[in-house]
């Protein structure tokens, strides 16, 4: 049965800054508390894993917070959390802050996502956007204010944009892909709670928004997906196009980062091993795309070896992009 992403769970966590507490595992007498915070995209996966982990270790309490990838890293680099959910790799400055705070971390990919661009279901004119169209809608220096400004045969209706907040890894990734070294426009309705974005697009015929694929899957009856043409034809996000990379450039890996000191605790070690073993099936139940088995095997080996640091920046601190299979060793 598909696990549901409910507005009640994620909304309260994101808006009120509250933690979703799940009492968890204790086969073999495990006890303790595991603190997780970060991405609203990865959060549903961690919640699903935490829920299933409860049957393994009911005396362990796992808390899953939703403060965005950037917000999660702000806590993680200070040692405030055991695990940070992230919808992008850790940034150079965040890695430096972790080092300064004495926090070593293990980087573990857990799934794939495809940032999904959606419009209101009553929008009859927009089926496909080119990357040039996307830039004209979202870049700060764009003169496009209405759909007619984008294409003269489209309605003269104001474009209202709903987007993740700037602490979101989804926003960071979108900005990197769309704006390059430029800026995203500021006159958008933003929220760290993706359910708020869903409701915003659902409620306005002229609206457009973007968020993780699972939120589209969960709300596809209330939204219309837009195909993206990045030069190789119009591609719709799906499990297949996200995994094989044809949904470019919006396919991306999802991560958890584990504090190495926390990983020495039996309950954290058991939880992460459970995550890497049971997670692939739960990733798909939640609505994302599971990793190829060889990538999951690498993650298991890296966790067993307590391999620290990121593989997504080079020796000069620049971000590395490309196939996960080629980068993650």
Q: Which of 123-132, 177-186, 259-268, 316-325 has the lowest mean pLDDT?
A: 316-325
Strands in 19-24's sheet, in edge-to-edge order, are 19-24, 60-65, 32-38, 83-86, 251-259, 105-114
Strands in 207-211's sheet, in edge-to-edge order, are 189-191, 160-164, 207-211, 116-119, 224-225
Confidence label for 18 from pLDDT (cuts 50, 70 and 90): very low
% of the chain exceeding 90 in pLDDT: 76
Confidence label for 28 from pLDDT (cuts 50, 70 and 90): low
- pLDDT at position 116 is 96
Q: Which of 3-7, 53-57, 246-250 has the lowest mean pLDDT?
A: 3-7
Using a 10 angstrom Cβ sphere, with 0-12 exposed, 13-18 middle and 19 or more buried, the burial of residue 93 is exposed
% of the chain exceeding 70 in pLDDT: 91
Kind plus residue range of the DSSP H or E element containing 327:
helix 324-327
To the nearest 10 degrees (0 to 180), the angle between helices 293-304 and 266-286 is 170
Those residues whose C-beta lies under 8 Å from the C-beta of residue 11, and which sit 6 or more positions away, are 193, 195, 196
pLDDT at 129 over 80: yes
- For 37, 41, 167, 201, 286, the CA distances from 195, given in Å and listed in that order, are 18, 11, 16, 10, 15
- pLDDT at position 71 is 94
The stretch 95-101 carries a mean pLDDT of 96
Residue 112 · residue 291 · CB < 8 Å: yes
- pLDDT at position 2 is 46
- pLDDT at position 137 is 97
DSSP state of 64: E
Those residues whose C-beta lies under 8 Å from the C-beta of residue 212, and which sit 6 or more positions away, are 40, 41, 87, 113, 114, 115, 116, 170, 194, 288
pLDDT digits (tens, 9 = 90+) for 289-322: 999 999 999 999 999 999 999 999 887 777 787 7
Q: What three-state secondary structure class fits 235? A: strand
Task: State how far the Cα of 303 lies from the Cα of 134, in Å rounded to an integer.
Answer: 38
Confidence label for 19 from pLDDT (cuts 50, 70 and 90): very low
Q: Which of 10-14, 64-68, 165-169, 234-238 has the lowest mean pLDDT?
A: 10-14
pLDDT at 30 over 80: yes
Task: State how far the Cα of 287 lies from the Cα of 249, in Å rounded to an integer.
Answer: 19
Confidence label for 23 from pLDDT (cuts 50, 70 and 90): very low
- pLDDT at position 314 is 82
Q: Which of 3-17, 73-87, 270-284 has the lowest mean pLDDT?
A: 3-17
- pLDDT at position 316 is 77
The stretch 94-122 carries a mean pLDDT of 97
Task: State how far the Cα of 211 lies from the Cα of 197, in Å rounded to an integer.
Answer: 8
Confidence label for 152 from pLDDT (cuts 50, 70 and 90): very high
- pLDDT at position 15 is 36
Sequential DSSP letters for 98-146: HHHTT--EEEEEEEEEE-EEEE-TT--S-SEEEHHHHHHHHBTT----B
- pLDDT at position 279 is 94
Closest CA to 215 of 291, 114, 129, 134: 114
- For 233, 308, 320, the CA distances from 311, given in Å and listed in that order, are 31, 9, 8
- Count other C-beta atoms under 10 Å from residue 121's C-beta: 14
- pLDDT at position 319 is 78
- pLDDT at position 81 is 98
Structure token digits, residue 283: 């990733």
pLDDT at 4 over 60: no
């Amino acid at each position: 049965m598909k696990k549901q992403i409910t507005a009640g769970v994620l909304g309260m966590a994101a808006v009120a800054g509250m933690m979703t507490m799940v009492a968890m595992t204790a086969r073999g007498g495990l006890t303790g508390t595991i603190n997780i915070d970060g991405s609203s995209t990865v959060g549903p996966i961690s919640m699903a894993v935490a829920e299933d982990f409860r049957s393994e270790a009911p005396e362990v309490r796992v808390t899953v917070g939703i403060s965005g990838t950037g917000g999660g890293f702000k806590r993680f680099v200070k040692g405030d959390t055991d695990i940070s959910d992230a919808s992008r790799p850790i940034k150079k400055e965040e890695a430096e802050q972790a080092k300064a705070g004495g926090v070593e971390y293990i980087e573990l990919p857990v799934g794939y996502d495809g940032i999904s661009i959606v419009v209101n279901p009553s929008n009859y004119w927009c089926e496909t956007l080119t990357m040039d169209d996307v830039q004209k809608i979202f870049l700060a220096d764009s003169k496009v204010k209405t759909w007619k400004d984008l294409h003269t045969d489209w309605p003269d209706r104001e474009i209202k944009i709903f987007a993740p907040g700037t602490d979101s890894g989804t926003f960071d990734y979108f900005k990197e892909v769309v704006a390059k070294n430029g800026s995203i426009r500021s006159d958008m309705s933003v929220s760290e709670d993706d359910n708020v974005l869903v409701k915003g697009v659902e409620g306005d015929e002229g609206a457009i928004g973007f968020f993780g694929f699972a939120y589209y899957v969960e709300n596809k009856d209330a939204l219309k997906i837009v195909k993206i043409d990045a030069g190789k034809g119009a591609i719709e996000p799906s499990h297949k196009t996200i995994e094989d990379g044809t949904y470019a450039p919006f396919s991306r890996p999802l991560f958890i980062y584990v504090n190495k000191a926390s990983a020495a605790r039996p309950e954290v070690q058991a939880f992460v091993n459970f995550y890497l073993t049971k997670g692939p099936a739960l990733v798909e139940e939640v609505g994302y795309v599971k990793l190829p088995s060889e990538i999951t095997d690498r993650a298991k080996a890296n966790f067993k070896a307590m391999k620290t640091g990121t593989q997504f920046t080079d020796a000069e601190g620049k971000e590395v992009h490309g196939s996960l299979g080629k980068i993650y060793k």
